[in-house]
Amino acid sequence: MMDWRSQGVLLSARRHGEHAAIIDVFTPDYGRHAGVVRGGAGRKMAPILQPGAQLDVSWRARLEGHLGAFTVEPVKSRAAAVMGDRKALAGLNALCGLLQFALAERDPHPELYDRTLLVFDLLGESDAWPLAYVQWELALLEELGFGLDLSSCAVTGSMQELIYVSPRTGRAVSRQGAGEWASRLLNLPNCLRGVGDGSLEGVPDALATTGYFLTTWMAPQLGNKPLPPARDRLVEALGATRTP
């Protein structure tokens, strides 16, 4: 018999049979993990099993490769905090959708888990959550081996006036270094570098840039499927240009 206990954030739940549900939970020690919740589709459990919910979960299966069964206890509900905020709700769904899209099952990512909780907890609580979200997308790329180098200009080595990113190398490019190639480069707003005055003005450009690398670098390694529709809805909610 295989079993473990951890906390995790619920990514999705779907009905399984008449009364059960299959849930997908992101945990720090066991990664993205699925299992059956007996009674998960019932009136008592269904309100608890909402995307973004923090759960105490115990998993048990006869063999490690089996789907297994969860018993769950609620720790924190995040649905109420975002239900009245269309943008925050879109952010919650984008986080859940991208984690399901990008992470292999049962592959731990403890640092990404900690970053994910920080963004979840900002949703509905702080107007600055989009700044944390764009940094989270950078962290997701880094975690999966597609990190960008935004520390200095790829052409001149300068750390000043870094306003572009090369779509080919993922490295920052300064105004001076861009030259005649500027029109072919992606925008690098201050918020993507984690600097600036806290303004949300650069968020649409930041999402367009991270979206490019999620689509052209990450997705081809994951079966070349389109990014989750939930991310497109977030992009539209925040006024960004959708990724082709």
Model confidence pLDDT, tens digit, residues 26-81: 999 999 999 999 999 999 999 999 999 999 999 999 988 899 999 999 999 998 88
The pLDDT value given to residue 14: 95
Residue 185 token pair: 């480069």
Average pLDDT of the chain is: 95
Residue 153 token pair: 């200009």
Nearest to 206 by CA among 133, 139, 144: 133
Cα–Cα dist 212/167, whole Å = 8
Where do runs of H (alpha helix) occur along the chain?
79-82, 86-102, 110-122, 129-143, 175-178, 203-213, 229-237
CB of 27 closer than 8 Å to CB of 75: no
| pLDDT of 155 over the 90 cut | yes
| pLDDT of 220 over the 50 cut | yes
- Which residues are within 8 A (CB) of 38 and not within 5 positions of it... i.e. 6 or more apart? 19, 20, 69
| pLDDT of 243 over the 80 cut | no
pLDDT band at 244, cuts 50/70/90? Answer: very low
Compute how many other C-beta atoms are within 10 angstroms of the C-beta atom of residue 51.
Answer: 22
pTM to 2 decimal places: 0.94
pLDDT band at 138, cuts 50/70/90? Answer: very high
- Which residues are within 8 A (CB) of 3 and not within 5 positions of it... i.e. 6 or more apart? 58, 59, 60, 61
Spans of all domains in the chain: 2-77, 81-150+188-237
Cα–Cα dist 166/184, whole Å = 8
pLDDT band at 124, cuts 50/70/90? Answer: confident
CB of 15 closer than 8 Å to CB of 39: no
Cα–Cα dist 137/220, whole Å = 17
Pairing state of beta strands 172-174 and 186-187?
unpaired
Q: Which fold has domain 2-77?
A: OB fold (Dihydrolipoamide Acetyltransferase, E2P) (2.40.50)
| pLDDT of 242 over the 70 cut | no
| pLDDT of 214 over the 90 cut | yes
DSSP 8-state code for residue 227: P
pLDDT band at 129, cuts 50/70/90? Answer: very high
pLDDT band at 239, cuts 50/70/90? Answer: confident
CB of 151 closer than 8 Å to CB of 172: yes
Model confidence pLDDT, tens digit, residues 86-107: 999 999 999 999 999 999 999 9
Compute how many other C-beta atoms are within 10 angstroms of the C-beta atom of residue 20.
Answer: 18
Alpha carbon 193 to its chain centroid, in Å, reads 18
